[in-house]
Structure 1
Amino acid sequence: MTSADTTFPLAILAKAPIPGQAKTRLIPQLGAEGAAALHRRLVWQTLETAVVATKPEAITLWTSLAHPGSPDYAFFATCRERFGIQLREQPVGDLGWRMHTALATMPGPGMVIGCDCPMLTPDLLKRCYAALQSADCVFLPAEDGGYALVGVCRAEPFLFDDIDWGSDRVMRQSQERIEALGWRSACPAMVWDIDRPEDLIRWQSWQQVPT
């Protein structure tokens, strides 16, 4: 098991919070500005969780840094200053290639998450990393058929090859890749993320539940 002070590499993928381009499925309900504001809030919350789970210097936020001086660039610069994390430009390519690229920069086992899952906690992140001691890869499957976290002991592009990203087939297709590789996998928990109006309602209700 991991100890309380275990440090592990963690990559976080985040779109730029540009109105009209962030949380687009929620624009009809929140408006373009509101959807972008929600995305910024989720990015911030994800970073707050991450820096409790592992040391800030082990965290890399992969995002769009192409336009210095823009509001989105300023937001990510603020994230770097506030949390002490690293920033890197996301490569061109689909989601699978971006995740593989992030994992390939890690010298050993590491994990990648997005910023859409409010259920992530420091303890859950630590449990996922601990699972890599006895498995080749770890996932947090999402209720919509995707996943909120992937971790590997070593980067393998085939794991992300020919996946229908954004569909309800993502986790199933990923499991097929795992079986083809002969890997052992672990799935410590099932989670849900915020992508549709009903997810937003669920999140709002979930936040009101006493802890």
Structure 2
Amino acid sequence: MRQADARILVFAKPPLAGYSKRRLIPALGPRGAARLHAELVHRTLATATAAQLAPVELWCAQQTGHAFFRHCLDRFPIRLKQQQGDDLGQRMAHAFQVTLTEAKHVLLIGCDCPALTAADLDAALHSLRQGNACVLKPAEDGGYVLIGLSRFDAALFADLPWGGCHVMSTTRARLAALDWRWQALATSWDVDRPEDLERLKKSGLPIAVDYQ
């Protein structure tokens, strides 16, 4: 059952050739990488909305009026919001700061982790309701695929090496400096680089990856 005291935020770019999943372009080509990104966005929204844990918002990297985002609005029970900020950290900080004035517990996910499940989202919200200020689901590449907060501090997002292998370790250090109680869920894998495509193929998930 959806809980009014929580929100699930999905961050996404539109699937534009040369703009989406650029690190996959050597393997899939610009159009193929964009098409895979569209599939990953759809899967993420399907997982988040089918879980029926909280209202789901799609935070758009470009104008919410983009045709792809309007299509998502027609297909899924979501609200569209506009990302704001000069880099990913600023955009995430803005989304949390705004949403935590409306809800007690907020999860933010991207669209790079097709293995993310409703059970993962449920566990993250449960962690926040148990009194943790933050919950993270680490990624194998050193980042994280989910972050949840029940309080806000911009220090968690400022000047981080986004896309690098030290995002999670840096975030751990900042949480320690804040003296926040937090929890890490089980580590997961995401789809960022060409070498991740073979794992996606073998995962059995219903996502086509042979685009050209």
Q: Report the TM-score when normalising by structure 2.
A: 0.89
Cα distance, 1:27 vs structure 2: 0.7
- SS in structure 2 at match of 1:41: helix
Aligned residue for 1:187? 184
CA separation of 1:64/1:171 partners in 2, compared to 1, >3 Å: closer, same or farther? closer
Q: Does 1:50 align with 2:48?
A: yes
Aligned residue for 1:84? 77
CA separation of 1:150/1:67 partners in 2, compared to 1, >3 Å: closer, same or farther? closer
CA separation of 1:139/1:67 partners in 2, compared to 1, >3 Å: closer, same or farther? closer
State how far apart, in whole Å, the 1-side matches of 2:41 and 2:48 are: 10
State how far apart, in whole Å, the 2-side matches of 1:60 and 1:128 are: 17
Structure-to-structure mapping, 1:26-105, within 5 angstroms: 26-54=24-52, 58-66=55-63, 68=65, 73-105=66-98
Q: Report the TM-score when normalising by structure 1.
A: 0.90
State how far apart, in whole Å, the 1-side matches of 2:159 and 2:176 are: 15
CA separation of 1:141/1:123 partners in 2, compared to 1, >3 Å: closer, same or farther? same
- The total of aligned residue pairs comes to 200
Cα distance, 1:154 vs structure 2: 1.3
- SS in structure 2 at match of 1:105: helix
Cα distance, 1:6 vs structure 2: 4.4
Aligned residue for 1:18? 16
Structure 2 unaligned blocks of 5 or more: 207-212
Aligned residue for 2:109? 113
1:81-110 CA distance string (max 9 Å, x none): 111211111113211111111111223211
Aligned residue for 1:172? 169
Identical aligned residues as a percent = 43
AA partner of residue 138 (structure 1): V
Structure 1 unaligned blocks of 5 or more: none
Cα distance, 1:55 vs structure 2: 5.6
Cα distance, 1:67 vs structure 2: 8.1
State how far apart, in whole Å, the 2-side matches of 1:27 and 1:6 are: 38
Cα distance, 1:159 vs structure 2: 1.2
C-alpha RMSD over aligned residues: 1.7
State how far apart, in whole Å, the 2-side matches of 1:175 and 1:47 are: 28
- SS in structure 2 at match of 1:62: strand
State how far apart, in whole Å, the 2-side matches of 1:208 and 1:85 are: 23
